[in-house]
Amino acid sequence: MRERYGVAATVVSAEEVRVGGIGGFFARRYLDVTVEVPDPGKPEEWTAHRRGAFDDLMDRADKGDRRELPIDASAVPPLSTESDEFTGLLEDLQRYASPHAPVSTTTRRKTRPVVLLKAPGDLVVIAGIGDDAMTVARALAGERGGAEIVAGGAQHAGPGVPRVTDRRTAFSARARGVENGRATIVAYSIEPGDARLAAHAAALTGIRPDQLWLAVDASRKPEDTAAWVNAVCTVVSVQALAVLRTAWTSTPESVRSLGLPEGWSDAVE
């Protein structure tokens, strides 16, 4: 930069850009740098003290890209072809390489076990069709530490039970949880129908839970479950599935096709 624009040139911005690749792998990386050059004037003498933002930026890039330096093999974890990351990469390659592969707007796969949040003030939403969310909420609260259960969506839990329907009521539930030293689980009932489903998905976005779990019925048709699950996942981040009625079907594993981690199941071990 100094050879082309002179020592008085100033770096205005520098941004790392990645092009291409699959799932974050094999991408080409370069720096997009904007330089401000003053009007021609008296030449300035370059000294070792005139180091600026560009030099610092390049130093950091050099430190991160010194691949030619000797590598301590003992400090590098061995490459495993059995890891979730490697398996996911192969799935992506197969999907994109196959001309007959189905097109999906989202890619979700299990990476690590999901742990239900239970610190005071944590807000976890369990969303499901009908009373499925309440069934799961009661099971989780009983198994994992006595969280307060509140209602949301179309769920009606009786008089006196608090409701969480938007950001304001979610904030109140968090504050109450901090005061009582408990987490809060929202049993959020979703109603069928495209318009209602879209409204529920938007409401879940406004609630902004710390975790969102979806209660799915393993005995339902996989395509019916996938329809509402995908509609929710399109607009809000989902952390886990809670699987119900596994004993009512001969194929409870069908929920795995949803591509989300399983955080809880009523299956008898």
Q: What is the pLDDT of residues 169-188, one digit of tens each?
A: 999 999 999 999 999 999 99
Asked if residue 241 has pLDDT above 90, the reply is yes
Whether 10 has a pLDDT exceeding 50, the answer reads yes
Q: What is the pTM of this model?
A: 0.58
User: What confidence category does residue 107 fall into, taking pLDDT thresholds of 50, 70 and 90?
Assistant: very low
pLDDT tens digit sequence for 17-27: 665 555 555 55
Phi/psi for 79 (5° steps) reads: -75, 125
pLDDT, position 97 = 46
pLDDT at residue 72 tops 70: no
**Cβ atoms of residues 129 and 190 within 8 Å:** yes
Sequence-distant (6+) residues with CB within 8 A of 249 are 218, 219
d(Cα 56, Cα 54) in Å, to the nearest integer? 5
d(CA 20, CA 26): 7
Which domains, and CATH codes, for the chain?
Answer: 2-71 (no CATH), 123-265 (3.40.50.300)
